[in-house]
A and B are shown apart, each in its own frame.
Chain A
């Protein structure tokens, strides 16, 4: 049995591990070591990292149903917030480095290109999740309402994986794997609710 304490103790290490890639890419970007098209590379890496972290939060939710791993849920908030951190970096790379704050162009891009639309909505849905992540907010909202808001993570994950799927030109294996995982986890969640209707009330 892993205790809450076990997981809490791993937090500082996890924190550094998840933060590290962003520092590395920033360093590589500044020193000109991010390849031939560094802006594209930076944007891809940040976005992929964000999507993977979102999926990890979903996996944590499902794993926490296993008795011995129940306490793993204490890691979820940190990883979720890191997902938001990477999405913000990804989005600001797009706005600042890729399009140089050409707001009019960016608005057109968001409206006209489905893959950017998906990504943008996914980002918007993440904002309420990140901003209600403190203990205080949980208390203020009440756990039930808080939980309802946080179901937004499913549309966030699905839209983010679609954003990736549409972007890929030919070999869609990786985005399809991510979508598959998300759908399985969502089905697991639905199945769990349906099988215990009295708890859902």
Chain B
């Protein structure tokens, strides 16, 4: 089988995330001198590899950007890559409402000027029993939550994906009740592992991966990591989520990666790591047990799957 390890450098033409983040004179200067320097950033995997577990290997840029579940662009895994060309991720803003001191709309540039972007290499485990290892760039969701100033009564966070059927052809069909919605418990949202990602492999977030900003919750099945977020709502009750609404007997609110709780369609005991031939054992909480198991110590995970 072909292992696609060298596919990273051809993507030099993508705007770099740093240019996007600063959006200022300095970045314009940077951009002129940087194309080769950032190409290095992309092709030199050592900066990501130091965050890797010994059993893991980074998936290639091509794998990560051509095999996606993003039903807004179609239900086949190649559709997001093929159908997301017309999507305009800029300008972008996120509406903050619900139980907050003051409902407001943040410009994405404003959010990014207040946070620190860092590299996070995470395993991504899809409920369909395949997985990848992805080098994200982003910042902790907790930083944005602090900016949003939720009231103490806020116990849950709901996220909403943009609804633009003219740019997202999948939304022209009612496969899911649009817009896509997801949610987290407040303590899950505040966990240091939970990030809002704005890039991968040092590139701005590609459209098919949830441009310009998406959630990444590495210990939960991939569908929890909602893409292209336009609204964040703070609530005192558990919000409805898209897949749970569509098929509650299959998808729960928590959706923690759990090899012991099977899905009616897929055994969750093993998974296929993209690029590998043999299946691997699925790890409890996708291998992030140490960081998150305490969140669920009083919860029956077979009931709250």
- Residues on A close to B: CB < 8 A? 31-33, 35-40, 98-100, 105, 108-109, 112-115, 166-171
Contact = CB atoms under 8 A, between A and B. Distances in A.
B209 to A, nearest CB: 14
Given A35-B67, A37-B274, A115 B265 contact: yes
B173 A171 contact: yes
Contact of B176 (A32, A100, A113, A170): A170
B35 interface: no
A162 B176 CA distance: 21
Pairs of residues from A and B, 8 with the lowest C-beta to C-beta distance, nearest first: A32-B2, A36-B67, A170-B175, A171-B175, A171-B75, A36-B63, A32-B1, A36-B274
A36 B132 CA distance: 11
B278 A37 contact: no
A133 B278 CA distance: 37
Contacts of B67: 35-37
Contact of B272 (A39, A108, A171): A39
A114 B264 contact: yes
A114 B71 CA distance: 24
Given A36-B66, A37-B130, A37-B272, A113 B265 contact: yes
Nearest to A33: B2
B75 A109 contact: no
A169 B75 contact: yes
B267 interface: yes
Interface of B: 1-2, 62-63, 66-67, 71, 75, 77-78, 130, 173, 175-176, 246, 262, 264-267, 269-270, 272, 274-275, 277-279
Contacts of A112: 262, 267
A99 B279 CA distance: 7
Nearest to B127: A169
Contacts of B270: 105
Nearest to A109: B267
A39 B71 CA distance: 22
A38 B275 CA distance: 9
A83 to B, nearest CB: 24
A91 B144 CA distance: 49
A112 B78 CA distance: 29
B233 to A, nearest CB: 24
Nearest to A168: B75
A97 to B, nearest CB: 8
A21 to B, nearest CB: 18
A100 B1 contact: no
A100 B175 CA distance: 34
Nearest to A38: B1
A168 B266 CA distance: 12
Contacts of A115: 265
Contacts of B71: 170-171
Nearest to B62: A36
A166 B274 contact: no
Contacts of B274: 36-37
B267 A105 contact: yes
Nearest to B176: A170
Residue in A36, A100, A166, A167 with the greatest tally of chain B CB atoms within 10 Å:
A36
Nearest to A31: B2
Contacts of B75: 168-171
A170 B246 contact: yes
Contact of B278 (A100, A113, A169, A171): A100
A106 to B, nearest CB: 10
25 contacts: A31-B2, A32-B1, A35-B66, A36-B62, A36-B63, A36-B77, A36-B275, A37-B272, A37-B274, A39-B272, A39-B277, A40-B130, A98-B272, A98-B279, A105-B267, A109-B267, A112-B267, A113-B264, A113-B267, A114-B264, A170-B75, A170-B176, A171-B71, A171-B173, A171-B175
Given A35-B66, A37-B274, A108-B267, 9 more contacts: A32-B1, A32-B2, A36-B62, A36-B67, A37-B67, A98-B279, A114-B264, A168-B75, A169-B75
Nearest to A34: B1
Contacts of B275: 36
B266 to A, nearest CB: 8
Contacts of A170: 71, 75, 175-176, 246
A100 B277 CA distance: 10
